[in-house]
Structure 1
Amino acid sequence: MRIAIAGLGKIARDQHLPAIAADPAFLLAATADPDPRAGAAGVPHFESLEAMLADGPPVDAVAICTPPQSRHRIADAALARGLHVLLEKPPAATLSETAALEARAAASGATLFAAWHSRFAAGVAPARDWLAGRRVLAASIEWREDVRVWHPGQDWIFAAGGLGVFDPGINALSIATHILPGAIHLATAELDIPENREAPVAARLAMRHDGGAAITVELDFLQTGPQTWDIAVETDGGRLLLQRGGAALTLPEGSREGEDREYAGVYARFAELIRGGASEVDIAPLRLVADAFLRGTMRRAAPFTG
Structure 2
Amino acid sequence: MSDPIRLALVGMGKIANDQHYPALTSDADFDLVACVDRDGSCLAHLPYFVTIQELAESGLTVDAVAICTPPQVRHDIAQFALEQGWHVLLEKPPGATLAEVVALRETAQDRGLALLASWHSRFAPCVDQAREWLAGREIKSGRIVWREDVRVWHPRQHWIWEPGGFGVFDPGINALSIATHILPDPMFVEQSELFFPGNCSAPIAAQVRFRDRKGALIAMDLDFRQEGKQSWDIVIETAGGTLTLSNGGADISTTGAPPPPRDDVLPGEYSALYRRFAELVRNSSCDVDVRPLRLVADAFLCGRITRVDDFIE
- Normalization by structure 1: what TM-score? 0.97
Q: After superposition, what is the alpha-carbon deviation per residue over 1:158-203, rounded to whole angstroms, capped at 9, x for unaligned?
A: 0000000000000000000000001111000000011011000000
CA offset at residue 273 of structure 1? 1.1
Runs of 4+ in 1 over 3 A off after TM superposition: 253-260
CA distance in 1, matches of 2:142, 2:66: 33
Contact 2:138/2:238 (<8 A) preserved: yes
Letter matched to residue 127 of structure 1? A
Q: How does 1:22-33 map to 2 (within 5 A)?
A: 22-33=26-37
Q: Among residues 212, 215, 223, which one is paired with 1:212 in the alignment? A: 215
Match of 2:6 in 1: 2
The number of equivalent residue pairs is: 305
SS at match of 1:297: strand
CA distance in 2, matches of 1:206, 1:226: 24
Q: How does 1:100-179 map to 2 (within 5 A)?
A: 100-179=103-182
Contact 1:158/1:200 (<8 A) preserved: yes
CA distance in 1, matches of 2:251, 2:206: 24
CA offset at residue 254 of structure 1? 5.5
Letter matched to residue 14 of structure 1? D
1:65 aligns with 2:68: yes
Letter matched to residue 35 of structure 1? D
Contact 1:8/1:31 (<8 A) preserved: yes
Contact 2:109/2:285 (<8 A) preserved: no
SS at match of 2:18: helix
Match of 1:290 in 2: 297
Contact 1:44/1:56 (<8 A) preserved: no
Q: After superposition, what is the alpha-carbon deviation per residue over 1:9-59, rounded to whole angstroms, capped at 9, x for unaligned?
A: 1111000000001111000010000122x1113110111111111115110
- Normalization by structure 2: what TM-score? 0.95
CA distance in 2, matches of 1:296, 1:173: 17
Match of 2:252 in 1: 249
Query: Could you list the runs of 5+ residues in structure 1 that have no partner in the other structure?
Result: none
Contact 1:114/1:280 (<8 A) preserved: yes
Q: After superposition, what is the alpha-carbon deviation per residue over 1:201-227, rounded to whole angstroms, capped at 9, x for unaligned?
A: 000000011221000000000101110
CA distance in 2, matches of 1:135, 1:251: 15
RMSD: 1.4
Match of 2:271 in 1: 264
SS at match of 2:243: strand
